[in-house]
């Protein structure tokens, strides 16, 4: 059975997902054409919507985290730190396999090779690995400055 505290956590998480989906779906309604149609307004408005959705999701996550008791907060931090670190480390294996053409080797008809395709994959992977690392550095610097 849910107690009052855990119910409010789930409400914040539902509000986070609902808000993010609403903002991002609104941009799809505004620009119903295919994603291959790249225009300045489409790129700028969708990027702004992604920033708003990210801010909303983060704010709701902070509110949900504050509603957790100390044990649940520590469990979440442990899981994100170790689970995230292990997941990022293991993703290097997938990066090497895909980057060296492993998907093409598995299914040549659907996965093509090429310098531009690899560059796009490389940038996408580095965003997924680099952003969490930069977030860690900022949080660590904040923690060090705040606890002195």
Domain boundaries, the chain: 1-68, 69-148
Q: Residue length, the chain? A: 148
Model confidence band, residue 105 (pLDDT cutoffs 50, 70, 90): confident
Please tell me the predicted confidence (pLDDT) of residue 35. Answer: 63
60, pLDDT greater than 90: yes
From CA 53, how far away is CA 38, in angstroms rounded? Answer: 21
HSE-CB at 141 with a 13 A cutoff on CA atoms is: 5
From CA 127, how far away is CA 120, in angstroms rounded? Answer: 11
Please tell me the predicted confidence (pLDDT) of residue 39. Answer: 78
Model confidence band, residue 40 (pLDDT cutoffs 50, 70, 90): confident
Between 2 and 148, the more confident residue is: 148
Whole-model pTM: value is 0.69
For tokens 């505290």, name the residue.
Answer: 5
Between 144 and 101, the more confident residue is: 144
Please tell me the predicted confidence (pLDDT) of residue 31. Answer: 79
Please tell me the predicted confidence (pLDDT) of residue 112. Answer: 80
Report percent pLDDT > 90 for the chain: 36
From CA 146, how far away is CA 143, in angstroms rounded? Answer: 5
């Amino acid at each position: 059975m849910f107690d009052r505290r855990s119910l409010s956590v789930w409400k914040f998480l539902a509000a986070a997902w609902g808000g993010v989906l609403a903002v991002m779906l609104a941009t799809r309604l505004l620009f119903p054409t295919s994603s291959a149609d790249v225009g300045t307004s489409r790129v700028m408005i969708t990027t702004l919507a992604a920033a708003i959705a990210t801010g909303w999701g983060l704010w709701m996550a902070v509110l949900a985290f504050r509603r957790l008791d100390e044990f649940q907060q520590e469990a979440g931090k442990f899981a994100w730190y170790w689970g995230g670190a292990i997941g990022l480390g293991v993703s290097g294996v997938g990066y090497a396999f895909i980057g060296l053409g492993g998907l093409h080797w598995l299914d040549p008809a659907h996965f093509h090779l090429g310098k531009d395709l690899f560059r796009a994959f490389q940038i996408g992977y580095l965003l997924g690995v680099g952003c969490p690392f930069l977030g860690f550095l900022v949080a660590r610097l904040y923690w060090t400055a705040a606890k002195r």
